[in-house]
Homo-oligomer: A and B are copies of this chain.
Amino acid sequence: MKKYTLRDVAKAAGVSHMTVSRVLNNNPRVSATTREKVQKVITELGYEPDARARAFVTKKSQLLGLVVSDISNPFNAEISRGIEDKAFEMGYSVIFCSSDESPQRTEACVKHMLRTGVDGMIFTSVRLKEPAVEKLIAEGFPVVLVNRKLSSSDYHYVICNNFLGSYTATKHLLKLGYKKIAMISGYSNFSTGLDRLKGYQKALEDNSLLQRSEYVIETSFSAEGGFEAAKALLALKDRPEAILCGNDYIAFGVMDAAEGSGLSIPEDVALIGFDDTDFAARSRIKLTSVSQKIYEMGSIAVQIIVDTIERKNLDYEHKVVLNPKLIIRESCGYHLHKK
């Protein structure tokens, strides 16, 4: 298949290559008859404009960079789908890179994306301080943060109200009568970890319950982290009656640990997760969890970044905070709590 150029089409249509360019870009300054004639030749030849030439001359690649902690993590995979669909709709492609939450790899991802020539970048998993990303923002490069935000505040983001999510979850446990409530939290050098921890603490405070330091464990947002933390909590002399988890994976790890200790959920320990992943609803899991709009966060992030890319000198900031929703299942059902 021979590659045709603008000039090939122009010659075949008997017009200048500029006219063909105008037809291609839907420029109205072309007569209907000319347009039709040119369009016909384009179709006949199966001409496709050279994306690389176009990107070069316009300084726009229609490419978005997506930096996630790990694309194989289902949470990121779902955000990615939201991002992809909206990007596709808006005529953009998205390239992705996994940072593994390491500053070095994050920086390498950024370099890699810059080298590839993306028009803007979306980050799902920044730490509260992320030099590589802060530098990018300072330079005025289009950036949108999703899911997690930086501790500084001058940039665009779309996140879940994580504070409210765990505040509501803790309130729910309190209403069911639980008093000894522990939290296995994600690391608080991430805004998600920190805000969820704060929501839990505030709920206890509002109910005049004192916080016990041995009831709070920070770990990674993973089943392994949850498993280890739960082993410690469940071995305490004064075992907690309920555990709020930084995400569902932590909760799944707690389930494994409980089974290992011969404890039942919710009879011996009530459990709440965060994210409401697909598995939470499975018959063997039935995990109460805080649901957030993952796909939508990705979708909104694309709208923001495209807006930032296409309008120059944006003089306002996009800050979107979505509300989470508690989905109640049997892992802390009150009917089961009446032992």
Contact = CB atoms under 8 A, between A and B. Distances in A.
Nearest to A260: B283
Contacts of A80: 71-72, 77, 96
A52 B284 contact: no
Contacts of A51: 61, 114-117
Contact of A55 (B55, B76, B113): B55
A61 B55 CA distance: 11
A269 interface: no
Interface stretch (A126-134, A147-155, A204-212, A251-259): A251-259
Contacts of A307: none
A115 B48 contact: yes
Contacts of A52: 52, 55-56, 59, 61, 117
Contacts of A77: 71-74, 76-77, 80
A123 to B, nearest CB: 16
A70 interface: yes
B282 A252 contact: yes
Given A63-B116, A88-B112, A279-B279, 19 more contacts: A1-B139, A48-B114, A51-B114, A52-B56, A55-B117, A56-B56, A72-B74, A72-B80, A72-B81, A72-B295, A74-B74, A74-B77, A77-B80, A80-B96, A84-B97, A94-B96, A96-B96, A252-B282, A256-B282
